């Protein structure tokens, strides 16, 4: 039996770019991860965005972009990143949860409630969505 992991923990290959471009995207995303881990949210957001320009088919990385944007105070942009990730991963509860958090911070209460409810429909055991 395979373990269910939230979308942000999964990397999905998107072999649409040339090998050199794939390597560049991988380096950018690794640098973004380092910036994120160091709390340099603005740099992380910039690097994730650059990586996604090369390999746009990475919804789990788009969630990370949303985190970095949210933490750097760019709430509208974070909401857009989370929304796109949730659209690309319709059965991922964490993407819906993160979208709901951004909507809540933006004062979009009804939209946030819908996102939290959708997260719970996907994963009824997702305590953080239930707590919202």
Residue 83 has pLDDT above 90, yes or no: yes
Name the least confident of 21-25, 33-37, 39-43, 53-57.
Answer: 21-25
Query: If you average pLDDT over residues 41-48, what whole number do you get?
Result: 97
Whole-angstrom distance, CA of residue 110 vs CA of residue 40: 31
Query: Among residues 124, 131, 121, 128, which one has the least CA distance to residue 86?
Result: 121
Residue 92 has pLDDT above 50, yes or no: yes
Which 8-state DSSP code applies to residue 125? Answer: T
């Amino acid at each position: 039996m395979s373990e269910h992991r939230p979308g942000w923990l999964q990397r999905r290959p998107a072999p649409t770019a040339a090998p050199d471009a794939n390597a560049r995207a991988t380096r950018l995303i690794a640098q973004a991860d380092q910036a994120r881990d160091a709390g340099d949210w603005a740099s992380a957001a910039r690097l994730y965005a650059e990586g996604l320009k090369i390999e746009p088919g990475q919804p789990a990385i788009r969630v990370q972009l949303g985190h970095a944007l949210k933490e750097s105070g760019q709430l509208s942009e974070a909401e857009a990143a989370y929304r796109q990730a949730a659209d690309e991963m319709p059965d991922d509860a964490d993407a819906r949860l993160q979208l709901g958090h951004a909507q809540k911070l933006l004062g979009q209460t009804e939209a946030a409630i819908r996102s939290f409810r959708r997260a719970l429909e996907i994963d009824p055991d997702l305590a953080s969505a239930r707590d919202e």
